[in-house]
Amino acid sequence: MRIRVEPSTKMNDNQTPVISESTHALLLVMQRNELTESLVYSGIAERMKPGHNQEVLMRCSSEELSHAEVWRKYTEVDVRPNKLKAWFLVTAARILGYTFILKLMEEGETAASIAYSTQLPEIPEAKAISEDEDEHEQALIELLDEERLKYVGSMVLGLSDALVELTGTLAGLTLALQNTRLVALSGLVTGISASLSMASSAYLSSRADGDKNAFKSCVYTGCVYLVTVAFLVTPYLVFPNSMAFAALGVMLVVVLLIIAGFTWYISVAKNLSFKRRFAEMAGISFSVAAISFVIGFVVSRCLGIDVA
């Protein structure tokens, strides 16, 4: 296949600009990706109130269209964006936050751009174009100001405290009581009470620091705590009374998944190290669970409760 391109590309013996079929296919993929991302940016922006964030995202959308036009000059083909993918990402942004989705997109695009640039020797400027686009888009995304990310500290506080406290409590109660319903009841009472206490403490602490949004801070802390409690107690509500240790095993897996999911979310949204934060949270939670399990065994023996 011979396709006309810009003069900076390879020439054949007749000095006619050409690119290979494989290069043309890659450029078509890049062109479609740019159009799809433009839809994502504009779709998220349309659901925002007029202001700074909306302007930044519309600018990103416009730049993606211009990038697609660059690749179209090489392909000389009109392609359609992936509307299903765009719809999914816009919907996910409403749940997970637009900063997380956009940075996740950029991580994927950065990796793809590197792969594309190394596979496009016929277009020497492709690598430079990709790098310039990535740097510019990343700079624009950094200008975004999303409310929920202002309260990451509050969310981390609620999650870490719930994981440490409830994991240890449920582990200790499992050995001491060996009854899923009793463990669930105790866990719910403890968890709900602790979430209210934690939210109150977060409010008072924020107020003492002069934070005008102290109420929002306590809401984020309390809500994350309650959601975590619900996930940890659920296995004990699902398994029958005689399978307390099975419920404990599932609960520990849930803890691991929650830590992995939340750490991944924060690491992407805030550009932090995933491995270090994951190892830290998992290590603390499971260490407390092990210690509490031992305490439950010791207490049950001291009180003369048969755990055999």
- The domain spans of the chain are 21-145, 148-302
Whether 302 shows a pLDDT value over 70: the answer reads yes
Q: Which two tokens stand for residue 125?
A: 């400027």
Distance of CA 112 to the CA centre of its chain: 19
pTM above 0.85, yes or no: no
CA 81, 84, 87: angle at the middle one, nearest 5? 100
Q: What topology does CATH give the domain 21-145?
A: Ferritin (1.20.1260)
Residue-wise pLDDT tens digits, 69-102: 888 888 888 999 999 999 999 998 888 788 788 8
Q: What helix, strand, coil percent values describe the chain, rounded to 5? A: 80, 0, 20
Q: Averaged over 148-157, what is the pLDDT?
A: 69
Residues 208, 179: contact at Cβ < 8 Å? no
Model confidence pLDDT, tens digit, residues 212-256: 777 887 888 888 888 889 999 999 999 998 898 899 999 989 988
Please report the pLDDT score of residue 13 as a whole number: 47
Cα(87)–Cα(64) distance, rounded to whole angstroms? 17
Give the separation between CA 300 and CA 294, rounded to whole angstroms: 10
Neighbours of 181 (CB within 10 A): 14
